[in-house]
Chain A
Amino acid sequence: MVCKEVIRKLSEFLDHELAPELAEELSRHLARCDDCNIVVDTCRKTVEIYCNMEPLPLPEDVRARLDRALAGKLGKKNA
């Protein structure tokens, strides 16, 4: 496997969606190619960082307007 193919298959490799023999071939390439190893490793970190990201609380003004909109709608349905 050459570097270009590694990059093309990188995403599926990280998602464990590659056929086992292709994943092994890609792993063998990584063992001998520093550049690809760095790209795969930093891409894995990218995905992990975003997956673990917690959202910030709703801004207070957004929360206040949302509460008013919901109260209006929910109140109407109950009326």
Chain B
Amino acid sequence: MPTHLENEATLVADARAGKTEAFTTLVRQYDRYIYRLALNITGNPQDAEDVLQESLLKAYTKLGQFHGESRFYTWLVRIAVNEALMKLRKRASEKSVSLDDPIESDDRSVMPREIEDWADNPEQRYAKVELGQILNDVVRKLEPQFRTVFVLRDIENLSTEETAEIMGLSVPAVKSRLLRARLRVRDLLSPYFKKGKG
């Protein structure tokens, strides 16, 4: 979650009044977070760049509809997630795959494969850039249905309810996908973080 600007309300009011530099200041604060979100959901740098641009341009066009009920960033995230999901659905339909198929609830697919303990503070084994690359690569290995929920809940720190609303899912469905996503991510990270490694 990014640091929010102290004068955010003033900047939003100025941007709504047509001061373009206020809007530029606002989006500069958040653009790398929106790009990461888009990259994590779409898994494709070109799509992520399109989502970033389209989201920010749409935010500018729709600024009159933002009345400060949420943080500006949360509002921006909603726009970006919708744009990213549209891209993802378009890609899925090209491959005749649905993102909204019900998830099989088979215990075998939930049970962890790897039961090896990790070192204390395992992330400190890696330089910041290397760690970022590992974490991003692992997220992109998740299937889209799980990846989007994991990105919204555990990277963007949205609530279960917000995630459900944005994705058009029930709260139990979000929880079920989140559990599977977390266990899968944990399995995929284990080779990097287990005790005795490195």
Instruction: For B31, list chain A residues within 8 Å (CB).
Output: 58, 63, 66
B135 located at the interface, meaning its Cβ lies under 8 Å from any Cβ of chain A in the complex: yes
A41 located at the interface, meaning its Cβ lies under 8 Å from any Cβ of chain B in the complex: yes
Question: What's the A-B contact tally at a CB cutoff of 8 Å?
Answer: 110
Which of B18, B32, B110 lies in contact with A7, CB distance below 8 A?
A: B110
Instruction: For B60, list chain A residues within 8 Å (CB).
Output: 70, 73-74, 77
B191 located at the interface, meaning its Cβ lies under 8 Å from any Cβ of chain A in the complex: no
CB distance from A7 to the nearest CB of B (A): 6
Q: Which residue of A lies closest to B18 (CB)?
A: A78
Contact B32 A56 (CB under 8 A): yes
Residues of B that sit less than 8 Å from A by CB: 18, 20, 23-24, 27, 31-33, 35-36, 49, 52-53, 56-57, 60-61, 107, 110-112, 115-118, 122-123, 128-129, 131-132, 135, 139, 150, 154-155, 157, 160, 175, 178-179, 182-183, 185-186, 189-190, 193
Residues of A that sit less than 8 Å from B by CB: 4, 7-8, 10-12, 14-15, 17, 35, 38-39, 41-43, 45-47, 49-51, 53-58, 62-63, 65-66, 69-70, 73-75, 77-78
Known: A43-B182, A65-B49, A74-B60. 12 other contacts (CB 8 A): A7-B183, A8-B110, A11-B175, A17-B160, A35-B115, A39-B186, A41-B118, A42-B186, A46-B182, A49-B122, A53-B131, A57-B32
